Amino acid sequence: MNPIKPLESALAALIPDAEALVEPFRRQFDPSAATGVPAHVTILYPFKPPDELTGDVIQILRDLFKELPAFTVSFNKIMQFPDAIFLAPEPAEPFRQMTRLIAGRFPETPPYRGEFKEIVPHLTVAQEGDPQKLASIAADFRAAASDQLPIRARINKVSLLENSNGYWQVRAVFPLH
């Protein structure tokens, strides 16, 4: 029996330029891809439950993001957490700044429920709890990525995603200036 998934939302910078490389790995090894989450760098997860995404909350987010500058990012480094492979964005600091800004305005929504002290911006490629399997996936991804990195992307908007219908979808988009 499948456990009931919580209704959630997230703020993320979508990275469509990375899809060609990461999608085959994410589809197979990242459960979020199967529920509609595209390649992205998380700004804040979890955010608010979808029923709390009121017009006022949307307007606050719109006002906060429009004050932040757009920027260009490059993904050239393949890195690992103990249970995941990811592409590290450079620069990473603009993502951290956005996370701190939103979490500061909505302190009831700490990044990753407050489980991690450090904010590590990343684009997840694969998740796997078995270290040997993760090493094998990492080797396959390094081979696939060898002639496709760096990936460059312009970050000029942040998307609010929510899963109220069981599948993640974009609820709102907030342009950066």
126, 84 Cβ separation under 8 angstroms:
yes
Instruction: Tell me the average pLDDT across 59-77.
Output: 98
**pTM (2 d.p.):** 0.95
Q: Residue 24: helix, strand or coil by DSSP?
A: helix
The per-residue pLDDT for range 37-53, each reduced to its tens digit, is 999 999 999 999 999 99
- Whether the pLDDT of residue 141 is over 60: the answer is yes
Residue with structure tokens 């439950």? 49
pLDDT grade for 31, boundaries at 50, 70 and 90? very high
Paired tokens of 163: 């899963």
The candidate with the shortest Cα–Cα distance to 132, out of 77, 82, 79, is: 82
- Number of Cβ atoms within 10 Å of the Cβ of 106: 18
Instruction: Tell me the average pLDDT across 11-16.
Output: 98
Q: Where are the domains of the chain?
A: 9-175
The per-residue pLDDT for range 79-97, each reduced to its tens digit, is 999 999 999 999 999 999 9
pLDDT of 4: 53
Paired tokens of 78: 């393949």
Total number of residues shown for the chain? 177
- Whether the pLDDT of residue 75 is over 70: the answer is yes
Instruction: Tell me the average pLDDT across 17-41.
Output: 97
Give the max Cα distance, the chain: 47
Which CATH number among 3.40.50.620, 3.90.1140.10, 3.40.250.10, 3.40.109.10 corresponds to the domain 9-175? Answer: 3.90.1140.10
